[in-house]
A and B are shown apart, each in its own frame.
Chain A
Amino acid sequence: MSADQGVAVVDRTRCVGSGMCIVYAPGTFAHDAEVKAVVLDPPGDDLETIETAIEACPTSALRLGGEQEEQ
């Protein structure tokens, strides 16, 4: 995936660690030690798969961010 397509952004206050994103895009999402979703670098799925995972988040904790938000 090229950078100008944006990357997934995790809202850690909304993430409850349900693991839905890992079901749909296991090449892109993982859990950290606090069981919050994190985005692997580089993301290992195509954009459509990542969008499916973002839409699947039950607590609306994920969105597709722009390149400039990455820092």
Chain B
Amino acid sequence: MTEIIQKVKNLSIGFKSKKGEEILILRNISTNIKKGETVGIVGESGSGKSTLALAMMGYVKHGLYTIGGECEFNSSNLLKMKNRDLEKIRGRKIAMIPQNAGQALTPNLKIGYQIDEALQLHSDLKEEEREQKISELLNKVRLPSPETIALRYPHELSGGQQQRVAVAMALAGTPDLLLLDEPTTGLDVTTQAHVLELLNFIAKDTGTSMVYVSHDLGAIAQVSDRIIVMYSGEIVLEGPSRDILKKPIHPYTYGLLKSIPKLSLAGLPQSMPGSQPQPGTMHRGCSFFDRCDFSEEKCKNNSPQLEYLEELNTSVRCFNYKSLMNDSQVNQTVNKIKTSLQDKEILNLSEVSISYAKQKLLDQVLNRISDDNPTVKDININIKKGETIALVGESGSGKSTILKSIAGLLRTKGGIIKFDQNRNLSSDLKERDPNDLRIIQLIFQNPDESLNPNHTVEEIIAQPLKLYFGLKGEELKKNIIDLLQKVRLGEFYMSRYPRQLSGGEKQRVAVARAFAAKPDIILCDEVTSALDVSVQAAVLNLLQQLKEDFGTTYIFVSHDLAVVRAISDRVAVLYQGRLCEVGPSKDVYQFPSHPYTEVLLGAVLEPDPDIKPKLVAEDIVEEKPPQKGCSFQGRCSRILGDICKNEVPPWQITNSGNSIRCHIPLKELQKDQVN
């Protein structure tokens, strides 16, 4: 048997509430981390996964305290250790890679200096050796030309590079255990795939044990040997990663896997009802009871114990796991989306370009924008009534910028935005009349920011009703209750404040507010990316339902290609503010034809250990679109030569109505992908 590095025994961590009750964040956790293995900890926000990871390096967040149990590392309990002794272990034996490397690096110190500092603290190398070691480390995390990187400041690196530097710093002390707290969550899909691949390589190369904390089953599937699924502060399922992802025997994991949209499957996944109980509200029974499809009477009052199944090498906390054992292949059923597409064109963007460039004085006086290389350029899209069109691309591809211009928050530099074939919407907010503003509503990414924390749900939804329809008194109230019912929230939510709602409920309120204006077009800016997976499916289903009821048109922006696949009729792929490919989502996903689409789709992580991401292009980040030629020339693996650098590629239209902007002939583009 392999050596156990870290032993967590009956660990409970919690805090005292104002009323003096003890509220548990972690409840009786026991697990072992073996040498050289990678363990993935998954769970929704608030499940206690980060608290557990931090406890593994002997750290308990301010306000929390250890109620019982221990974290044993090298046969000493980290949670009882003095800070002096912990210092010797942290960094040298156990290292941590934070979620946001950009914030974890000191902004005013050079990369090389920061790594050197880690080396001084955590190794016994001499000064000359350290310099050597710095380049070695930077090489190991595959950063190009380590000597120049070492002289840069953190802000001069891209997000992916910063994360690599964080990995290099963690490796400086040659730790036995590496804790990673959502290390790829803020990164673009392509970068994420590269960083995960690097982590896999490092795990094999150095034999370091890793604990990988994430909410993303796709990422976990790529790296881990073993998976721990957490729910409401408890381990509900623990076992080899393949078994857990392929044959989950706990209802929560089963439901979770079913609610994740897949690239290979169009249509909306089934959602899990309800949400995770808040800590302190659970007193007896199984914590998953109210959301479980397999629950029985006894689950209500008795909490199941974690049971170890010898033959599967898996621990499960459920009375009914046997019923899942027989048919637990996750057969995903999806609700096919009905297309309510009409022939009528509702929004037309032609030759739209948008610039963030600061105006010069002369231009300000003449009220014009001069910028020969604008952020967004040459956007031509016709959107039909009732359509869901998705704009996809990495960060910086201009997708949110286009939304802002349609909403009037940003002036266009050139081109025309037309609503309903005759109304010109190229102007910004000030020049639009109230009705033009009403027909287009926005739903934002993060409901914490898009709902005023000092307004009740009633006041939030009343705003558009008062503004556009002048409703008052009883009529206003009736309308609000109506809208709340449409988003499946009860009347009693009216007096609540956003902070009293869960993430999914908040987003429902935001949806209700958007629909209150009776808009024709709703712009959805990453509406599900701040939500937990199980809630995400519910919100997507709700949006689809409302669309069918009201005949609304959605313009959907997302970086999550699987979500886009699930909900959209048509996809537009953007790179550096230029369109690469536009077409029905079915075709774009089946034959990704543009080289960039191929890169994007190849990098998507699926919660399946057998589907590995394809890494086609380098994950370089370009600051600015190229002055001339194809926008993707800098990263394209199939670049033809000078033609791509000098000439803007032409639109090529495939048989299925898919438009691709590339110099490579259609036949060749599609041929290569079949292989």
A and B associate: no
Interface residues of A (CB under 8 A from B): none
Interface residues of B (CB under 8 A from A): none
